[in-house]
Amino acid sequence: MKATKKTLYGSHSLKAESLLAQTRGLLRRFDLKTRKSLGQHFLIDEGVLKLIVSSAELTPTSIVVEIGPGLGVLTKELARQAGWVVTIELDNKLAAILKQTLTSFPNVTIINENILGIDPSGLLEKQRTSLPPTINSFGYKVVANLPYYITSPVLRHFLEASVKPQTMVVMVQKEVAEAIVAKPGQMSLLSISVQFYGEPRIISYVPAQCFYPAPEVDSAILRVDLYPQPAVAVADERSFFELVQAGFSASRKQLGNSLAQGLGLPKAEVLSLLETAGIVSQRRAETLTLGEWAQLWEVVTQVRKSAC
């Protein structure tokens, strides 16, 4: 699927008003107030809603995991396109309401828990007993309008899971999406962490007025297509990311200094490691490619093994 990056500015105003009216009506009906602590901003633009769903390329055999369904607007669209939807809501009151408002969708399972405490492998295993035979029970996609405060933890949770999704289509802050898709020169620990596992791209920017209540920042629809294997071959992902984290530990410092500080090693030793890896010590962490991080990790690992 070739992504087209575009900005949506009220191109579906009549339908957006309809969704806004629905949202306000549900909030009044159930005497709800939005909880800023849970990052509750409800999507009210029909065009954006349909773009999220179409970007996930769902089929009647698809299993979808949704995080933070809120009032269930996206959940209903997912249920119409996918074979099975597992939606996970932390807010007790919203979860109870969803069990009332989604009764007409037999292919939706509502779980009232914290997604960070749920193992995707165990989640899928529990669902298998309920799945129709036409559903592909060995793969799943994550589609969600993510609460801003939990974006990075949720991405890590699925990217590092033993059973990873095939694709993730998520709404995130615009700045976060741009950081995730960054190229060498603008890389960060976040972009390395995502690009290690998959190819991210921005589908569309979404202005704040597409939500109720409107957040203070614009958003973006981000799609991540996960690789069958990580982008670079490292035998120990944990020590690889410890090295990357050390490289970014001192913002904007040269690698020789940031790695010495982050790894707790003498600078002379770090300079030798960088030289062996073919990386100029005056470079900064944000300029390195994934391949260069992997090469540096190989050198550090070999030196540590020889020292034992």
- Domain 6-226 carries which CATH code? 3.40.50.150
Nearest to 58 by CA among 132, 127, 138, 143: 143
Domain regions of the chain by residue span: 6-226, 237-307
**Tokens, residue 3:** 């992504």
- Find out whether the peptide bond into 213 is cis, omega within 30 degrees of 0: yes
**Tokens, residue 248:** 């970014």
- How far is the C-alpha of 5 from the C-alpha of 7, rounded, in Å? 7
Tell me the pTM.
0.91
Question: H or E element: which one contains 294?
Answer: helix 290-307
Q: Does domain 237-307 have CATH number 1.10.8.100?
A: yes
pLDDT tens digit at each of 308 positions of the chain: 444 455 554 444 444 458 888 888 888 888 887 765 555 788 999 999 999 999 999 999 999 999 999 999 999 999 999 999 999 999 999 999 999 999 999 999 999 999 999 999 999 999 988 898 889 777 999 999 998 889 999 999 999 999 999 999 999 999 999 999 999 999 999 999 999 999 999 999 999 999 998 999 999 999 999 999 999 999 999 999 999 999 999 877 899 999 999 999 999 999 999 999 999 999 999 999 999 999 999 999 999 888 76
CB 116 within 8 A of CB 131: no
